[in-house]
Amino acid sequence: MKNSLVITAAVLIIGAITPAVAASASDAAALYSSKCSICHGADGKGATAAGKALGIHDYHAPEVQTKDDSELQATIGKGKNKMPSFAGKLTDEQIQALATYVKELGKK
Ligand code: HEC
């Protein structure tokens, strides 16, 4: 009896967590379009007015595609030259998800 209660509780908890994990890819897309696309462009090519003025690299370029996720995360978190820092504005999980999203965008 006690065991079945524990199992029921575990199933409920896992059920509550799973949708949050599944949502993270679309969260990254939503975050990207609200916070990043103004400079980097929806397609990641940086062909925006701000992107051209700031000298943004196209995410499709080898200098971005050859960076590993930790380097991309560091740039997003700490900023770099004219890239603003997002630490404090985004959680580590959001920064990780965005680094993955940026790489994926650059492969399209
Ligand atoms: C104000 C304009 C601006 C905004 C907003 C912005 N960036 Fe950037 N970003 C830049 C610039 C400029 C660089 C190039 C930095 C450099 O290497 O000199 C850059 C570089 C990067 C890089 C490294 C790619 C490379 O060139 O090696 C990543 C990854 C990145 N941005 C992700 C993001 C993400 C994710 C967001 C949204 C959370 C974001 N950026 C928002 C301007 C911006």
Query: What average pLDDT score do residues 37-42 get?
Result: 97
In Å, how far are 9, 36, 60 from 28, measured between CA atoms?
30, 10, 18
Q: What is the pLDDT of residue 99?
A: 96
The CA 67 to ligand 1 mean position distance, Å, reads: 13
Query: Per the structure, how many domains does the chain have?
Result: 1
Structure tokens at 58: 């196209």
Which pLDDT value is given to residue 26?
80
What is the residue with the minimal CA distance to atom 9 of ligand 1? 83
Query: Hey, whose CA ends up nearest to atom 14 of ligand 1?
Result: 56
Which residues' Cβ are closer than 6 Å to ligand 1? 35-36, 38-40, 50, 54, 56-57, 63-64, 67, 72, 75-76, 80-84, 86, 98, 102
| 99, part of any domain | yes
Domain residues for the domain of 100 are 26-107
pLDDT per position as a tens digit, 77-88: 999 999 999 999
Q: Is residue 2 part of a domain?
A: no
Rounded to an integer, the average pLDDT of 59-64 is: 95
Question: What tens digit of pLDDT does each residue of 16-38 get?
Answer: 555 455 456 789 999 999 999 99
Domain contains 21: no
What rounded mean pLDDT belongs to the chain?
87
* pLDDT above 80: residue 7: no
Extended strands (E) in the chain = none
Give me the pLDDT at residue 91, please. Answer: 95
Residue pair 55/63 in contact (Cβ under 8 Å)? The answer is no
Higher pLDDT, 59 or 10: 59
Ligand 1 centre and the CA of 98: distance in Å? 11
Beta bridge partners of 87: 90
Position 78 in a domain: yes
Q: For residue 53, give the CATH number of its domain.
A: 1.10.760.10
Please count the other Cβ atoms lying within 10 Å of the Cβ belonging to residue 50: 13
Cβ 46 vs Cβ 56: under 8 Å: yes
- Cβ atoms of 76 and 90 within 8 Å: the answer is yes
